[in-house]
Structure 1
Amino acid sequence: MASLPYADVDSSLRSLAGRAEGFGRLSVGGLNGPVYRVTTLSDDGPGSLREGCRRKEPLWIVFEVSGVIHLSSYLSVSSYKTIDGRGQRIKLTGKGLRLKECEHIIICNLEFEGGRGHDVDGIQIKPNARHIWIDRCSLRDYDDGLIDITRQSTDITISRCYFTQHDKTMLIGADPSHIGDRCIRVTIHHCFFDGTRQRHPRVRFGKVHLYNNYTRNWGIYAVCASVESQIYSQCNIYEARQKKKTFEYYTEKAADMEGAKSGSIRSEGDLFLNGAQACLLTGASEECVFHPSEFYPTWTMEAPSDSLKDILHICTGWQSIPRPAEQKATA
């Protein structure tokens, strides 16, 4: 379909760099570093993913093996890294990735499943992380969130990901006391939320642009706007099952404010199926929501349709695609 984004990012290994749409568009990952090859499924040691992620220099990390990497602890990713799963099938389990005080991270074509323990997320982005792009990942069945973005982490794009078999899917903005989260900006597009229960996403304080996502069969609500958040929902497909409420509003009090308030959602061109109810707040709520064009000039979007549903079934999550040819790093 001609209007789908990223038609050429698989033309060469480093074509992903700087190509995200939305708030994460500046992320270059490990563009200017050498290729690091993961040669073992071990949790640590020479040739392991953890060894590559802890190195301080820019790296474009690829895999020479397929299989399961069982993480015994969070795997911290340092700045200027691309974790590129194209060409192999890598599943992370046990714990997840932690993006802490880092910048310019690209995570592509991985699976996350079966994370266990208190506060264990598939991808935990906090604090003060920025310029991040998560593309074509499959995430399911963690004890906490699948992707959580909190503590002043910002300028993030999540695209073409598949979420299933989970409760609290994606949290953006941790707590009403963390007023620094007013800086958060996230774009989520062309993702498939398939039967996950809630938080697609749940947002505090931040600005979030949702477009061309497919969310179906949620268990409580699809999208939640809490304290001071601004959510621009554009040309998404919301397909209800038993629970019909698409948009939820939770009222909370920011630590530096007198009164409690919820967030705001602006819905433009969304498709509501099987009795899904938009439940937009009346009055000035929509007028309080930012417009993405204030921050980036273009994004690739089409009207929601059955054909868009079909393509998101096929093109989200881990993909069986070859690793693109390598080119020399750009100076």
Structure 2
Amino acid sequence: MGSVLPYSDVDSTLRAMAGRAEGFGYLAIGGLNGPLYSVTTLSDDGPGSLREGCRRKEPLWIVFAVSGTIHLSSYLSVSSYKTVDGRGQRIKLTGKGLRLKECEHIIICNLEFEGGRGHDVDGIQIKPNSRHIWIDRCSLRDYDDGLIDITRQSTDITVSRCYFAQHDKTMLIGADPSHVGDRCIRVTIHHCFFDGTRQRQPRVRFGKVHLYNNYTRNWGIYAVCASVESQIYSQCNIYEAGTKKKTFEFYTEKAADKEEHKSGFIISEGDMFLNGAQPCSPIEYKEESMFHPSEYYPTWTMETAADSFREILQLCTGWQSISRPVDHIQ
């Protein structure tokens, strides 16, 4: 019996991805209603560059006519209604990362992010006030700050089939205890592979996060952290410990508009714990103020956590050598 994986038909045509994310990012349509924009140069800026396409105001479905490395000298800002679609080529972004700032309806697919340098440099930085975002099949490693950070009231985001490696502070959701507006944050992370990243797979403040069918192994401090008022629903994930066995961490912080210090909540349901990884203790299964994903989206493609599933996630996460689908909208 083969695995039941999501998105079996999103590569049938170029724009079949639009509106097809599972989870909180399900509304993201990217550049569905815009023309194709072809990246024809690996230059950081100028005609035919990725930066030129991303800054344009109109909807665009951005594809690549070249493969190789684009060295970003500064953050590359992506404006609303854009798909950055790396299928059919192998594009690596380095130096800096993508910034999704006050934008909506973004799809980022099949890219590599490696070697981002500088203070506060993330692979993909989503802040502030951005929404309806889907990040799919990206490989991210070795940045000076985060690989994907979601903060400052950015919400309705799905991260799927991504590969994370060679990194310390992997994914931060919720900026700090003073940003109480981050209570609106909603993120789904599924079918991702966190391969030896040290911490923050993810770390969450305030927001609601649904984790399902991810594989996290050999972390350095903890796997998942619930801090102030966060709600994390961990469902059918595989947690395989290395030397550090603590799967779930709870950090206590004080929200700026509250008197008492609080941590967050984690519900672990159907998770698999390997090599001595510690499951949640019963006291951590607090039902109070805990969301259930079905309140927000009716279905998601999930299977039981099993040994065989680890092999599948190692193959189907991150950048994929696949051809670019045909575009039926010319």
Distance 2:221 2:95 in 1: 27
Distance 1:316 1:215, change over 3 A: same
Please say if 1:44 is aligned against 2:45. yes
Q: Secondary structure at the match of 2:157?
A: strand
Deviation by residue 1:14-61 (Cα, 9 ceiling, x = unmatched): 000000000000000000000000000000000000000000000000
Please say if 1:318 is aligned against 2:319. yes
Q: Secondary structure at the match of 2:309?
A: helix
Distance 2:288 2:221 in 1: 26
Match of 1:32 in 2: 33
How is 1:168-179 mapped onto 2 (pairs within 5 angstroms)? Answer: 168-179=169-180
More divergent stretch after superposition (303-312 vs 37-46): 303-312
Match of 1:289 in 2: 290
How is 1:54-73 mapped onto 2 (pairs within 5 angstroms)? Answer: 54-73=55-74
Residue 2 of structure 1 deviates from its aligned partner by 4.7
Deviation by residue 1:138-176 (Cα, 9 ceiling, x = unmatched): 000000000000000000000000000000000000100
Residue 288 of structure 1 deviates from its aligned partner by 3.1
Q: Secondary structure at the match of 2:29?
A: coil
Please say if 1:203 is aligned against 2:184. no
Residue 9 of structure 1 deviates from its aligned partner by 0.3
| TM-score, with structure 1 as normaliser | 0.98
Match of 1:273 in 2: 274
Match of 1:257 in 2: 258
Q: One-letter code of the match for 2:26? A: R
Distance 1:183 1:286 in 2: 19
Q: Secondary structure at the match of 1:312?
A: helix
Q: Secondary structure at the match of 1:50?
A: helix
Match of 2:82 in 1: 81
Match of 1:90 in 2: 91
Residue 280 of structure 1 deviates from its aligned partner by 3.5
Q: Secondary structure at the match of 2:189?
A: strand
Contact persistence 1:247–1:280 (CA under 8 A): no
Contact persistence 2:18–2:28 (CA under 8 A): yes
Distance 1:175 1:283, change over 3 A: closer
Match of 1:212 in 2: 213
**Which runs of 4 or more aligned residues in structure 1 lie more than 3 Å from their structure 2 counterparts after TM superposition?**
none
Deviation by residue 1:209-263 (Cα, 9 ceiling, x = unmatched): 0000000000000000000000000000000010000000000000000100000
Distance 1:45 1:283 in 2: 53
| TM-score, with structure 2 as normaliser | 0.98
Residue 285 of structure 1 deviates from its aligned partner by 2.1
Match of 2:19 in 1: 18
Residue 327 of structure 1 deviates from its aligned partner by 1.1
Distance 2:227 2:32 in 1: 37
Residue 289 of structure 1 deviates from its aligned partner by 1.8
More divergent stretch after superposition (139-148 vs 270-279): 270-279
Match of 1:154 in 2: 155
Deviation by residue 1:259-294 (Cα, 9 ceiling, x = unmatched): 000000000000000000024361662443210000
Distance 1:283 1:233, change over 3 A: closer
Structure 2 unpaired stretches of 5+:
none
Structure 1 unpaired stretches of 5+:
none
How is 1:91-240 mapped onto 2 (pairs within 5 angstroms)? Answer: 91-240=92-241
Q: Secondary structure at the match of 1:282?
A: helix
Contact persistence 1:142–1:166 (CA under 8 A): yes
Q: Secondary structure at the match of 1:62?
A: strand
Match of 2:308 in 1: 307
Deviation by residue 1:172-229 (Cα, 9 ceiling, x = unmatched): 0010000000000000000000000000000000000000000000000000000000
Contact persistence 1:245–1:279 (CA under 8 A): no
Distance 2:115 2:51 in 1: 18
When the two structures are aligned, how many residues end up with a matched partner? 329
Q: One-letter code of the match for 1:178? A: H
Match of 2:247 in 1: 246
Q: One-letter code of the match for 1:194? A: D
